[in-house]
Structure 1
Amino acid sequence: MISIEAHLARLSLKGDQQAFAEIVSLYQEKLYHMAYRMLGNRQEAEDVVQDTFLRIHKNLDRYDEKLKFSTWIYRIATNLCIDRLRKRKPSYSLDAQPTDHEGLDGYSMIPSDNRTPESEVLLSETQQIIHQAMATLPVKYKTVMVLRYLQEMSLQEIGDVLGMPVTTVKTRVHRGREFLRKKLERVL
């Protein structure tokens, strides 16, 4: 039995525009949040999502129905994010302010039921520090950390998306956590 996405991909290949619109509807928001978390910039995240869907539409005939559609689409989006991150000049300032203030930083902590104005300020400052620390991660660690902790993918899913063995994913997650721990120890 084929997945809904694979069925929609087949219909899209036959020219069914509504089927492709359904694929976009299924993944647009998820891909945006993943891209935003990796890039930290609303416009770049929107561009990545648009580029992802353009590539999917252009290459639907290459989709292998034996693989999960979500793995294929996340691999495309993740690779586009990685390309953008590699083209950037590194910025390691911990004093930098977030460039986007829409509340979609993706590093939100789970809110408690007993928030006070003081706890809100502390939570906001902590989120900002974590956001800044994540922004300084090397690309190879940032990618796995975003997919693991913000997209909540399993190690196997991350390996499938990035085309690497699970052992490599585990190593990068471990090193990414260590990198963050060291950064946060200095700040917190």
Structure 2
Amino acid sequence: MISIEARLARMALKGDQQAFAEIVGLYQDKLYHMAYRMLGNRQEAEDVVQDTFLRVHKNLERYDQSMKFSTWIYRIATNLSIDRLRKRRPGYSLDAESSEHEGLDGYSMLPSDDRTPESEALLSETQRTVHQAMATLPPKYKSVMVLRYLHELSLQEVGEVLDMPVTTVKTRLHRGRDFLRKKLERVL
């Protein structure tokens, strides 16, 4: 039996714009949350989602229908997120004054997350600490941890999304948990 996503992909490949819009509707929020968890930045997460749909649209003929559509689209978004993480290079200190903007340090130029007092109250201190620790994970562990624990994919699905054997997924989960445990022991 063919999935609804695979059917929509086939229709979109034939030029049905409404079918592609339905694919976007099905995955837009899920991909955004996954990218945001990996990148910790709203703008970058939105860019990843947009780039993902551009690649999906451009490469629909390459979609292998023997594979779950969700696995294929998550793989694209995860790889784009990992690419962005790899490109990040901390080349300056946030404490140093900017030469372009006299009197401003790096902290004052960081983008805001536009959090409201209400949303801040909802995030407990422990959740914040865990999210901060997750943000420091190396990309190879972060991608596995986000897909497994925040998106609740099975080990097999994580392996399919990241194109790696389940044994590698298990190893990276174990090492990622160890990394987090050590980091949180120092903080909590």
Fold match by TM threshold 0.5: yes
Is the counterpart of residue 156 in structure 1 residue 169 in structure 2? no
Distance in 1, matches of 2:40 and 2:159, equals 23
Distance in 2, matches of 1:133 and 1:52, equals 26
Tell me the TM-score normalised to structure 1 length: 0.84
The Cα of 1:150 is off from its aligned counterpart by 0.5
Q: Which runs of 5+ in 1 are unaligned?
A: 104-119
Match of 2:138 in 1: 138
Distance in 2, matches of 1:82 and 1:70, equals 18
Match of 1:100 in 2: 113
The Cα of 1:101 is off from its aligned counterpart by 4.5
Tell me the TM-score normalised to structure 2 length: 0.84
Q: Summarize the Cα distance change of 1:173–1:90 in structure 2 as closer, same or farther, 3 Å threshold.
A: farther
Is the counterpart of residue 86 in structure 1 residue 99 in structure 2? no
Q: Summarize the Cα distance change of 1:145–1:101 in structure 2 as closer, same or farther, 3 Å threshold.
A: farther
The Cα of 1:135 is off from its aligned counterpart by 1.0
What pairs with 1:1-188 in structure 2 (closer than 5 Å)? Answer: 1-89=1-89, 99-102=112-115, 124-188=124-188
Q: How much is the aligned-residue C-alpha RMSD, in angstroms?
A: 2.3
The sequence identity of aligned pairs, in percent, is 80
Aligned AA (1:100): D
Cα shift readout 1:44-83 (whole Å, capped 9, x = no counterpart): 0000000000000000000011100000000000000000
Count of residue correspondences: 169
Match of 2:99 in 1: none
Q: Is the 8 A contact 1:35 1:77 kept in 2?
A: yes
SS of 1:152 mapped into structure 2: coil
Q: Summarize the Cα distance change of 1:168–1:124 in structure 2 as closer, same or farther, 3 Å threshold.
A: same
